[in-house]
Structures are given as structure tokens and as C-alpha cells.
Structure 1
Amino acid sequence: MNDSPTDQLTFEQALADLEQVIRELEDGQTGLEEALARFETGVGLLKRCYGQLTQAEQRLLLLTGVDAAGQPITQPFEHAPTAEKKPKLRTRERP
């Protein structure tokens, strides 16, 4: 397994770093090589965030009721991936 710096980040840290990368790229003040490097970093951070969300989702349990002893009855959470939805295209508003 490849140990990258993003492997040790919490979800919140990875998300904050990803937001910073996005701001830098949207600013447009970065040269081409640096922009490509930041983009690659952003992709790694995004994968990290998605991986952590997937792990969290797998840990969720769906509460289905309460037994006679008052203990919760649970079953594994099953959810269809949201990536199946067609993403909205981002367009810039014209002045």
C-alpha cells in the first residue's frame, strides 16, 4: 500500500486542505506546473474524503425498532451510491 501524506489526515483536515487547493486553483494566480501539482494533490485529498465517507457509511446501522428489553434492533445500512446521479454542469454567469 502506498503511504502518502493524505493517508494520515482526518476527514476534516483533508476537506479543509481540499478547499484550500480549490481556492488556489480558482484564483488563477498559479503557474501551469504548480496548478497541475495542486490539482493532483486535490484529487488525492478528494479520494481520501470519499474513502473516509464510505467507511463511515459502512459503519452506520439503521434502527428498525426496539425489542422487549428496550434494546435497539438494528440492521446494516444499505444505500445506493449517490455517484449515479448526473452531476450538474458548472457554468459561470455572464455579466
Structure 2
Amino acid sequence: MISFELSDEQKEIRDWVHSFAEKEIRPVAHEYDESEEFPWPIVKKAAEVGLYGTEFLQQTYGDGTGIMPALVAEELTWGCAGIALAIQGTG
């Protein structure tokens, strides 16, 4: 039987990304929506914590299940769709 439960590692990454979105993205999302400026400080912060770049992409796309990119996108988009695209589209 196939299990659709997330692994502990998947849950850990999902929770980490959610925490980043909650602390770094949500509080400033409205400001970036209003100003229509690119969220460089948030993208830089994502890079500092390892949520951006080649290594992170290899980790999420290389998990074999194909679910990690969706989990990451879901949590970042929960923070703000525009900022999520800025992070994921430039990494």
C-alpha cells in the first residue's frame, strides 16, 4: 500500500519554510504589494537562511517524491504569492 504521509524530513522542511513565511514574509507583504517594489531584503534573507539557491533546489527537487517543490511553494505562497514568486523565480 502506498503511504501519502509526509516523511519526517518533509515535515521539517515544510515547517521551516512556513516559519520563514510567517516571520519574514507576512509582516511586510502588504508593503511590497502597495509599493510594487521587488522584495530584495526578503530574497536576501531567504538566501541567508538557505531557502534560496542551487543547494536548496537540489534538496527539494531531489527528494524523489516530487512533493517538496509543491510543499515549499505552498508555504511561501501562504506568506505572499508575489514574494514567493520573487524567491522561487530567481533562485
Higher Cα Rg, which structure: 1
Query: Please, what TM-score do these two structures have when normalized by structure 2?
Result: 0.33
Which structure has more relative contact order (CA 8 Å, sep 6+)? It is 2
Which structure's residues are more often strand, by fraction? 1
Which structure's residues are more often helix, by fraction? 2
Query: Please, what TM-score do these two structures have when normalized by structure 1?
Result: 0.32
